[in-house]
Structure 1
Amino acid sequence: ESNERVNLPYTVAAPRPRPELEARMLELVNGERIAAGLRPLAVDPELLQVARQHSTDMFARGYFAHVTPEGHDPFERMREANVRFLTAGENLALAPTLQIAHTGLMNSPGHRANILQRDFGRVGIGIMDGGIHGIMVTQDFRN
């Protein structure tokens, strides 16, 4: 997990949820896991809400980071939503297309490790569409 923060030069007040892209990204993630001999991840409705909320918040407040401006990391955000976990992780992407986002995550060792983490069994993928600013992707994982 990185504590790096990027301040975006714009905000998106009302990004649109893209459930069809979330479903497609789940297929891509599970394809990678199956190819690596791992079990596919199940959709987690609680994590989905946490992930969508974070993607929305990053667009609304013009930042890109695992930690909110108030200092809440992914694990605190999960606990605040009453999501229980033994192990958890988060991937973020901001990209013009879903394929570019997925390829970027798989080409990054830390993000790839989350996608291929044996201990993770559930995922929430929250994708918000920022129009000309692209799509904001949050992948939240737990055991």
Structure 2
Amino acid sequence: MNNATAVSATMPITNINHIPMGRLLVNDADEIIYANTQARHFLGLLAEESLQAELKLMPLLRESYHFYPTKAWLGWPKRPSTATSRYLIYTSPHRIHHAMLKVDIVEKIWLGNKNIWVITMQFVDPFKTAVKYPIA
């Protein structure tokens, strides 16, 4: 994986509502079964390449993102006990750009004797949310 995740942009994004939603299918073993083009972009994967066998989501996220709030991510992929949203925060290597993704588990599917989690990743404007995160 490239350390410069493609979520940061050199030019300000004027309308983040036009950024497509990333969609993932992940099994109970945390293996990514499917990732659409936008999810691959957020994860720093090439859109054309096949997903590696047994590619795990959480270690991939840890390479580029901070989990916020930390408590909401405990027990992943199970939903937190409270109605807390989960966010991923990306800070560019030079700490110039920051990006925030809201991560939701949309559905849990039973398929082929396995649980499959349907996950969405949506770019959000941190200045228009009630989330305050430390800029390290």
Do they superpose with TM above 0.5? no
- From the two aligned structures, give the one with the greater helix fraction: 1
**Higher gyration radius (CA):** 2
- From the two aligned structures, give the one with the greater strand fraction: 2
* Structure with more relative contact order (C-alpha pairs < 8 Å, separation 6 or more): 1
TM-score (norm 2): 0.30
TM-score (norm 1): 0.29
